[in-house]
């Protein structure tokens, strides 16, 4: 018998992902509860939800990272389930554990899978044992002499990685033997400060790699499927700013192999719900990187090319229902690109630029989607991630998707904070991007993008009606009226 869905879901997040989850809930007939901090009292997600509960101060530790307050809000509102979104508490095993203890469903993977996959060393070993290719590397390392010996055995260059974190924090590439010991100490200190865990390990550094990831989803009945790949090589400071699906470098055969590897790793971990298996991809070979045990920021490109609503599937499988499709029913159509519109200044090394949005007109038209938690008059707070909107486009092929993305970026009116809109226009105009020659070093290897960006910064969007001189509009209206009286 098909299990019933939840009556009410609390979304333990903010901004665009909170609204994205609430939209799926509303389409499924599920009531929604928002939580908000002092900084988000007037935020759109608090008004979009059926009810909203204040959970504390603007600092994340006082609100969105306070698990006790979130659980209290769920109990007080009568929510039967919690969706964590991404970031904040989404990948902390304590969250699903606390939900289970409180009798509240967690719309995400079980704590057991998070424990297995949250530690990068453990995840690498699990992947290796299940036949997933991994780069040559070490276990946890804290002895400089052993690290030096291991690095020479692996072969320089190597990359030093924290075991317990992400977002590129603490990662160091070492090209020379004499730089190894200070780099390990620096990486360990950064990991200790950011994650409370100084454990680091070494991997062979693959030069000029691509970052390709596989979307997976599993239910509570042992079914795990993949939904193809996303190309995520355009990054600044090891963090993605543009993603697309399918990857221009992945053939159907490689997609099958990568998908099978991702499913094998997740099945071995007892994975349920949505997740992403990330790979390094170079010269036709792929190597396991890590698993993101949550919904990814870039999930809309997968939704566009597969026609599958990932958030609805998340909710259904969390309620105990089976996946609504099997692996051989997953098909791919066209090409999708997502551009992260961040309140950042690319000319100042992508420095965050939180300010009030003075004017806002989102692009529209065929194949264009904008996910955002902001609008005209919204304050972009300094307390959180700089993401303001996700602009996603879909076309019949990559060429049409690029053309559609260029058109949509030209239409986008976002005045107030500096944003990555003109930088994205420069990326899309790049011959290397257009031909699909991508690596994770794309941005540092293309400094000319900043000069190209300057070409677009002064342009006025054709949709920015506020930039039109009202006197000219009045004169035009009067002239038309006079013609009608002749």
Please list the active-site residues: 294
Angle, alpha carbons 253-287-240 (nearest 5°): 95
Question: Alpha-carbon distance 406 to 373, whole Å?
Answer: 22
DSSP string, 90-119: TT-THHHHHHHHHT-EESS--HHHHHHHHS
Cα–Cα distances in angstroms (integers) from residue 321 to residues 57, 107, 136, 223, 272, in the given order:
37, 12, 40, 11, 12
Give the strand pairing for 8-11 and 31-37: parallel
Query: Which tokens sit at 208?
Result: 């000029």
Strand 81-83 relative to strand 51-56, pairing: unpaired
Residue 158 pairs in a beta bridge with 174, 204
Whole-angstrom Cα distance, residue 192 to residue 381?
A: 27
Q: What angle do CA 434, 440, 446 make, to 5 degrees?
A: 55
C-alpha to C-alpha distance for 336 and 401, rounded to whole angstroms: 6
| Residue 37 near residue 62 (C-beta atoms within 8 A) | yes
**Based on C-alpha coordinates, what's the Rg of the chain?**
23
CB 345 within 8 A of CB 418: yes
């Amino acid at each position: 018998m098909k299990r019933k869905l939840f009556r009410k879901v609390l979304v333990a997040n903010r901004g665009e992902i909170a609204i994205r989850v609430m939209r799926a809930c509303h389409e499924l007939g599920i009531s929604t509860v928002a939580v908000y901090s002092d900084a988000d009292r007037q935020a759109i997600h608090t008004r979009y939800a059926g009810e909203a509960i204040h959970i504390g101060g603007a600092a994340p530790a006082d609100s969105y990272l306070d698990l006790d307050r979130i659980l209290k809000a769920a109990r007080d509102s009568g929510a039967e389930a919690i969706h964590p979104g991404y970031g904040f508490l989404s990948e902390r095993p304590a969250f699903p554990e606390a939900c289970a203890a409180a009798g509240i469903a967690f719309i995400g993977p079980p704590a057991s899978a998070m424990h297995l996959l949250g530690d990068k060393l453990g995840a690498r070993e699990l992947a290796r044992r299940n036949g997933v290719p991994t780069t040559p590397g070490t276990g946890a390392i804290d002895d400089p002499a052993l690290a030096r010996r291991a690095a020479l055995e692996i072969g320089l260059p190597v990359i030093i990685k924290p075991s317990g974190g992400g977002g590129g924090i603490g990662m160091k590439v070492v090209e020379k033997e004499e730089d190894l010991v200070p780099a390990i100490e620096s990486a360990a200190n950064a990991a200790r400060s950011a994650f409370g865990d100084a454990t680091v390990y070494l991997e062979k550094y693959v030069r000029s790699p691509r970052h390709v990831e596989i979307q997976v989803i599993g239910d509570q009945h042992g079914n795990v499927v993949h939904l193809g790949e996303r190309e995520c090589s355009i990054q600044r400071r090891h963090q993605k700013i543009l993603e697309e699906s399918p990857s221009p470098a992945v053939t159907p055969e490689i997609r099958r192999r990568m998908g099978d590897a991702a499913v094998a790793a997740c099945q071995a971990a007892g994975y349920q719900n949505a997740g992403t298996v990330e790979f390094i991809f170079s010269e036709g070979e792929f190597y396991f990187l890590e698993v993101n045990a949550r919904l990814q920021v870039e999930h809309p490109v997968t939704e566009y090319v597969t026609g599958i609503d990932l958030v609805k599937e998340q909710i259904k499988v969390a309620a105990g229902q089976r996946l609504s499709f099997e692996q051989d029913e997953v098909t791919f159509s066209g090409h999708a690109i997502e551009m992260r519109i961040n309140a950042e200044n690319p000319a100042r090394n992508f420095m965050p630029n939180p300010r009030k949005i003075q004017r806002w007109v989102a692009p529209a038209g065929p194949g264009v989607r904008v996910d955002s938690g902001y609008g005209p008059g919204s304050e972009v707070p300094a307390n959180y991630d700089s993401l303001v909107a996700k602009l996603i486009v879909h076309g019949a092929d990559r060429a049409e998707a690029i053309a559609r993305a260029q058109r949509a970026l030209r239409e986008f009116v976002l005045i107030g904070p500096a944003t990555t809109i003109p930088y994205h226009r420069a990326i899309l105009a790049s011959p290397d991007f257009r031909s699909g020659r991508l690596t994770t070093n794309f941005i540092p290897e293309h400094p000319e993008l900043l000069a190209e960006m300057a070409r677009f910064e002064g342009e006025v969007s054709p949709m920015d009606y506020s930039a039109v001189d009202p006197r000219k509009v009045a004169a035009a209206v009067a002239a038309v009226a006079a013609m009608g009286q002749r």
